[in-house]
Amino acid sequence: MARDTDGERTPLLNSASSQGLALAQSVGTLLTNWWLWELIEACTSIIALAVIVVILIIYDGSSLPDWPSVFTINSVISFLSTISKLSIVAATSAAVSQCKWLWYRQAEPRRLQDLQLFDDASRGPWGAVQLLFSLRARHLAFIGAVVVVLANFFDPFVQQVVAYRSRSVPSGKAPEIVKSRVYAARSDEGLPLPSVVDLSMKAGIYNGVFDIKDNADSGISHTCSTGNCSWRDVSSLAICSRCVDITSQVEKECTDGKCHLLYIPNGPTLSGLGGQINSSTTNISSELQSIEPSVLRFTSLLSKKVSDPNDALAIECSMFYCIGRYTASVKDGIAEQRLLASWRNDSARLDTKTDLILNPPTSFSNESGAEPYRVTHLAAHALNSFMSETFTGSGGINNSGSAFSSDVMQALYDASNLTRRIENLATSMTNSIRGQDDNVSGPAYGTAWTSETYVHVRWAWLAFPAALILLASCFIVGVILETSYRDILVWKSSNIALLFHGRSLRLSRPNEKPVNKLSAMTSRATNIKARLVDSDTEGWKLDQDE
């Protein structure tokens, strides 16, 4: 510390020290004699809530922030809400304490007991509840007591603002799903096969026919690293199907009310009792005549009820080459796909020497300038021959057993929904075509999804804390204005003010002027000593030590 030759402080330091002391005294006086401290607390509460709102706006809908492990959004908001609550409650409590002086300033005398009610109300919710029942909205302090009581619900409401939810977000390498622009029968070594159905297509046919759950959609070849992926608008060469019910065209020959012959003119025939199926590649329905280019067209006549020869079901189905547009997804490792739309060229015909070309309009495939879809004539001829042979046959069951010309006939007979089974067959065959590496199209790429926890802000829960702070702020401003209007000094919760201004109390010496400001009373009280004594005449008294 700088000193002069006499060991005293320099005039400059003396001046600075005096100015600093005067400033500190001015601020201290302002804090004691006015509402500066309470206004700071109210502003602190508002600012803390505003910071909470800003944080929530920033992180609403975002993934969890990468903060140090000791900090979370909940912990930060809890800390700020505690500051906001404590600040506004402290300011409100001071205003409630000031209300007791407003209460006794009125014209009519008030019960001395009310002094304790106001004091208790400024200290906690139980005292505030007692004051509520006592005042019954007859005084401004009623609002302050309501704020003190409701402040206990501040934290629970703020804690409900932030919720953590899960959502799917893109992640990792783009998944792949097969598609194809070309179908050509090939061996396992990749060599073209002459007029022979390749084994992969045969497997697709048998899988589709024998799949009792009709779940060929899940068999599409794909890669999905996360177990949850999606693809949209995947166009590929495909096999489509359409079936029509032609049961109304079944003719019956009956004797004595019992039918012994069921047949379709120029089509399959059943004789004897039920429990039979007969399938052939005859063309019956005019609805399917225009559908090309055909893979297979067949008619099946069934009579499943052995004891009822009148039972009959006739279905004709057409399977044909088409261009399919699919949407596909993998959820929890299980693949699904759905046909959005299909396109076919009814003017195209299969030829033994020329490949089948399918060139859909750009409006369908959104692939302008791409190479057209193609089915080689050898593969088309081989598949047509194999399908015609496979879906021609008969069989049935009776009391002694069953006999079918092929397992395919038994599968068609056992199908609970033959139309759905043929649709499943078409899907399985399509999967086989798409699974071939045609060296033209390559796979379709989609999006891999992973689960992410994100911040969801429920803004409605902030309404209560915001309304409470607003109500408290209005109450504090009202008490300030009322105090000024009634020309009452700001004594708040001071017990010293009560001791100095009770008429039965004499804390001032005869030669001392009375003091009214709280800072002056506090200053004088520092030089006054008292003790609690018990006298025989007056009982317990707080006695000033002379």
Same domain, 273 and 419: yes
- What is the arithmetic mean of pLDDT over 82-100? 89
Q: Residues with Cβ < 8 Å from 103, sequence gap 6 or more?
A: 110, 114, 118, 139, 141
Question: At a CB cut-off of 8 Å and minimum separation 6, what does 93 contact?
Answer: 122, 123, 144, 148, 493
Quote the pLDDT of residue 370: 74
User: Of 452, 477, 508, at which residue does a domain stop?
Assistant: 452
Residues 140 and 198 in one domain: no
For residue 511, tell me if it sits in a domain: no
Q: What is the pLDDT of residue 6?
A: 47
Residues 278-334: tens digit of each pLDDT: 999 988 888 888 888 889 999 999 988 766 766 889 999 999 999 999 999 999 889
**One domain, residues 154 and 186:** no
Distance CA 396, CA 308 (A): 14
Looking at the fold, whether 52 and 98 belong to one and the same domain comes out as: yes
Query: Does 254 map to a domain?
Result: yes
Looking at the fold, whether 447 and 430 belong to one and the same domain comes out as yes
Does the pLDDT at position 497 exceed 70?
no
Q: Using one digit for the tens of pLDDT, what is the confidence trace for 528-540?
A: 666 556 666 765 6
Average pLDDT along the chain: 82
In this prediction, residues 483-494 reach a mean pLDDT of 75
Asked, for residue 359, whether it belongs to a domain, the answer is: yes
For residue 265, cis peptide bond before it (omega within 30 degrees of 0): no
Between CA 529 and CA 535, with CA 530 as vertex, the angle to 5 degrees is 155
Domain identity same for 276 and 318: yes
What is the spatial distance between Cα 458 and Cα 239, in angstroms, rounded to a whole number? 50
Structure confidence at residue 25 as a pLDDT band (50, 70, 90)? low
- 151 & 244 share domain: no
Looking at the fold, whether 100 and 248 belong to one and the same domain comes out as no
Tokens 């903060």 belong to: 67
pLDDT band at 365 (very low <50, low <70, confident <90, very high): confident
Domain count, the chain: 2
The residue segments making up the domain with residue 190 are 176-452
- Residue 447 pairs in a beta bridge with 230
**Domain presence at residue 1:** no
CB neighbours (10 Å) of residue 107?
Answer: 4
The residues pairing with 375 across neighbouring beta strands, listed in sequence order, are 183, 356
In this prediction, residue 463 has a pLDDT band, given cuts at 50, 70 and 90, of: very high
Same domain, 148 and 215: no
Which of 112-116, 139-143, 205-209, 402-406 is most confident?
205-209
Mean pLDDT throughout 184-203? 74
Are 262 and 393 in the same domain?
yes
Q: Is residue 503 part of a domain?
A: no
* pLDDT tens digit sequence for 206-256: 999 999 999 998 888 999 989 999 998 899 999 999 999 999 998 888 777
Q: Has residue 3 been placed in a domain?
A: no
Which of 402, 429, 452 terminates a domain? The answer is 452
Q: Which of 474, 479, 472 is nearest to 102 (CA)?
A: 479
Does residue 30 belong to any structural domain of this protein? yes
DSSP 503: T
Is residue 140 in some structural domain?
Answer: yes
The DSSP H or E segment spanning 423 is: helix 418-435
**In angstroms, rounded to a whole number, what is the distance separating the alpha carbons of residues 310 and 278?**
16
Asked if residue 412 and residue 311 are part of one domain, the reply reads: yes
- Once rounded to an integer, what is the mean pLDDT over residues 98-117? 75
Q: Does residue 256 sit in the same domain as residue 360?
A: yes
